[in-house]
Amino acid sequence: MATAANPTRDDFEALLNEQLGDADDGGFEGRVVKGTVTAIENGMALIDVGLKSEGRVDLREFMRNDDEHGLEVGSEVEVFVDRVENADGEAMLSRDRARREAAWDRLENEFGEGKRVEGRIFGRVKGGFTVDLDGAVAFLPGSQVDIRPVRDVTPLMDQPQPFQILKMDRRRGNIVVSRRAVLEETRAEQRSELISDLAEGQVVDGVVKNITDYGAFVDLGGIDGLLHVTDMSYKRVNHPSEVIEIGQTVTVQIIRINAETQRISLGMKQLESDPWDGVAAKYPVGMKLTGQVTNITEYGAFVEVEPGIEGLVHVSEMSWTKKNVHPGKIVSTSQEVEVMVLEVDSEKRRISLGLKQAQRNPWEEFAEKYPVGSEVEGEVKNATEFGLFIGLDGDVDGMVHMSDIAWGISGEDALALHRKGEEVKAIVLDVDIDKERISLGMKQLEKGAPTEAAAGSSLRRGETVTVTVLEVRDGGLEVQVGEDGATGFIKRSDLGRDRDEQRPDRFQTGQKIDALVTGFDRSKKPTFSIKAYQIAEEKQAVEQYGSADSGASLGDILGEALKKQDD
């Protein structure tokens, strides 16, 4: 049992609380209390906070931005009680701790309300800087110093400026602040104010701040606008640096303002006269003009006919003779070319140009220089299953069909006689300018070949002639009129009316037969038909001797006709 002579621990605690204060308030330790300066000596301030003994605080803890502590005997100050009594019996007091605790209380309130706080950057640490928030030390990450990366932070050191608290942890003593958030918010407010004074279509002056591949950013006095490369000039601009440079003052027109994103689109070419006005009258279809190649693509080349106006030469309109060739193999960038206007669409701002139309059609030139019947010479460019392609003057090709290569042999055998790269001679048989085709014949130059007169003048379509079989083939008969007349061919289907009569093997070389001239091929070689001859004879007999309905048989009629022919 506790007595007055032997107090218990609880009795001792009660006596102590009676001397130091109410235990329910946590005592003095760890609290900020008010005290009175009782003396100033040896750089220390003696402060009475109501304890058994006074405490000493270094005067430097009271100094802020100058060398004066501003204290005198009787001054009332707030201090933090670290310990009620140390080994010397004095109270352990701290002005800095009192200031920090007060600062934390204030900062927590301002952080909860989302207010800005004022502070000073006073030191560097790994990853950022330290900031004094009127007694509390906060961390400023390097990425939160400014909107753009800052190389030199010296001008910002020890300067009072606003910060935004991002995070607070009093238990750990951590505070993270941002200067960038304040700048962005201020900038947004300024942008909104500046944008309200701008309007679409307005003409303003600005300074070029930055240049990119797609355009330039122009400072309009606190707010930036984008000047896209396509809005710098009506003429083609490969890179913005060709037109403007950083620091240059430019006059621009506000094209669009996006109130939500606060983005401003600017234009320079809108202040110039539009070169497309009246372009249809200026460049009528069929007009020839000179321009410069500005760009080459897989589908054609763009030609600038005047600053701001470009036309497209489609790949199909680039050359008369070079087909399926990349435009870069026909023209080159910056080359001066002559073109013809093919089509103008002012609404779509398009001009279709032709490169080949500005030059003469090589097939027209060839037809003038080498009329039908002219002899030409060229190199075998290619051999196909149906003929030979010959390279001719004017960078055009002519074709010799397999049937026009040689006399007396099949087309397949005639093709085998020639190879690629060989120089040959031929006769011009036909020139089709619209279809860009030239037909040639080689066998027409052979000795003994039928002349045009023999083939075309002495024979007439529908004429009956006697021919001699020169060669029996599977497909028909090679025949000749007379002994030295024109040669021609009778197809298998024309060897007779009946199927049995259409067998070539029933004829022999040297045999003479009657046939009808049915036409001429492109080399003016005649074609014959026994079948047509038989039908014509039958029709003539019927007309002359009566129809089969009169009672006479077809044999009687033909017999009478043959008898009359013999008489």
Q: Which helix (H) or strand (E) holds 415?
A: helix 411-415
Rounded to whole angstroms, the Cα distance separating 379 from 498 reads 47
Domain ranges of the chain: 32-113, 114-184, 198-271, 279-358, 362-445, 458-545
The Cα-based distances of 36 to 57, 68, 76 in angstroms read 12, 18, 5
Question: How far is the C-alpha of 173 from the C-alpha of 104, rounded, in Å?
Answer: 9
198-271 and 362-445 in the same fold: yes
The answer to whether the beta carbons of residues 108 and 141 sit under 8 Å apart is no
Show pLDDT as tens, one digit a residue, over the chain (567 residues). Answer: 445 556 665 665 555 555 444 433 345 666 667 777 777 777 777 777 777 667 777 677 666 655 555 677 777 777 777 666 665 556 677 666 767 777 777 888 888 888 888 889 999 999 899 998 877 889 999 889 888 888 888 888 988 999 999 988 878 878 899 999 888 888 777 777 777 778 888 888 989 989 999 999 998 877 888 999 988 888 888 889 888 998 889 999 998 988 777 788 999 988 888 788 888 888 899 899 999 999 999 999 999 888 888 899 999 888 888 878 899 888 998 899 999 999 998 888 889 999 988 888 888 888 888 888 888 899 998 888 888 999 888 888 899 998 888 876 777 877 888 888 888 889 888 888 888 889 998 888 875 455 444 444 467 878 888 999 988 888 888 888 877 778 888 888 889 888 888 889 999 988 999 999 887 765 567 888 999 888 888 887 777 665 544 444 555 555 555 555 555
Task: Give the strand pairing for 116-125 and 91-94.
Answer: unpaired
Please give the pLDDT value at position 564: 55
Nearest to 414 by CA among 486, 117, 424: 424
User: Do residues 252 and 204 touch, judged by C-beta distance below 8 A?
Assistant: yes
Rounded to whole angstroms, the Cα distance separating 64 from 134 reads 10
Alpha carbon distances (Å) from 202 to 132, 188, 533: 46, 21, 91
Alpha carbon 428 to chain centroid, angstroms: 48
Q: Write the class of the CATH domain 458-545.
A: mainly beta
Residue 35 CA, chain-centre distance (Å), reads: 77
Topology of the domain covering 32-113:
OB fold (Dihydrolipoamide Acetyltransferase, E2P) (2.40.50)
Domain 114-184 has CATH 2.60.40.10: no
| Domain 198-271, CATH class in plain words | mainly beta
Q: Provide CATH code, domain 362-445.
A: 2.40.50.140
Q: Which residues of 370-405 are buried (b: 16+ CB within 10 A; e: fewer)?
A: beeeeebebebeebeeebbbbebebebbbbbbbbbb
Q: What is the structure's pLDDT at 457?
A: 47
Write the class of the CATH domain 279-358. mainly beta
DSSP assignment letter at 454: I
Residue-by-residue DSSP string for 527-567? EEEHHHHHHHHHHHHHHHH--GGGS--HHHHHHHHHHHHH-
pLDDT, position 20: 47
334 beta partners: none
